[in-house]
Amino acid sequence: MRNRLRDLRAERGWSQGDLAERLSVSRQTVNAIETEKYDPSLPLAFKIARQFSMPIESIFQDGEGRRR
């Protein structure tokens, strides 16, 4: 699953540690999501969306839409 987490975080000037703190997860988790090695659970994805005040689908894309 693709995501814009790194860009959105950079726009706000947050470090991975800052975002991890806000999401109550480890910095490694934020890094793994940003590098697309790990797809967050739905609750965590909602939490991320709330942090950026954006809908989930504008942060995470599964790529299915482009194939249709």
Partner 1 sequence: MDKLRDYLKCYDPRFLAWTIVGVAVLFVATFAAFAFERGAPGRYACAAVQAGSLGALIVSGVMRTRHLDELQRRIQLESIALAFAIGSAVVAGWGFFEHAGAPRVDWGLWVWPFFAITWVGALLATRRRYR
Q: What is the 3-state secondary structure (H, E, C) of the chain?
A: CEECHHHHHHHHCCCHHHHHHHHCCCHHHHHHHHCCCCCCCHHHHHHHHHHHCCCHHHHEECCHHHHC
- Of 2-10, 29-37, 49-57, 58-66, the window that binds partner 1 (rule: CB under 8 A) is 29-37
What residues numbered 32-61 form the site for partner 1, per CB under 8 A? 32, 37-38, 40-41, 44
Interface residue with partner 1 among 1, 7, 26, 62 (CB under 8 A) is 26
Query: Which tokens hold the place of 10?
Result: 């950079």
**Shortest reach from residue 68's CB to partner 1, in Å:** 30
Query: Which tokens hold the place of 21?
Result: 């703190």
Return residues touching partner 1 (CB under 8 A). Answer: 17, 20, 24-29, 31-32, 37-38, 40-41, 44
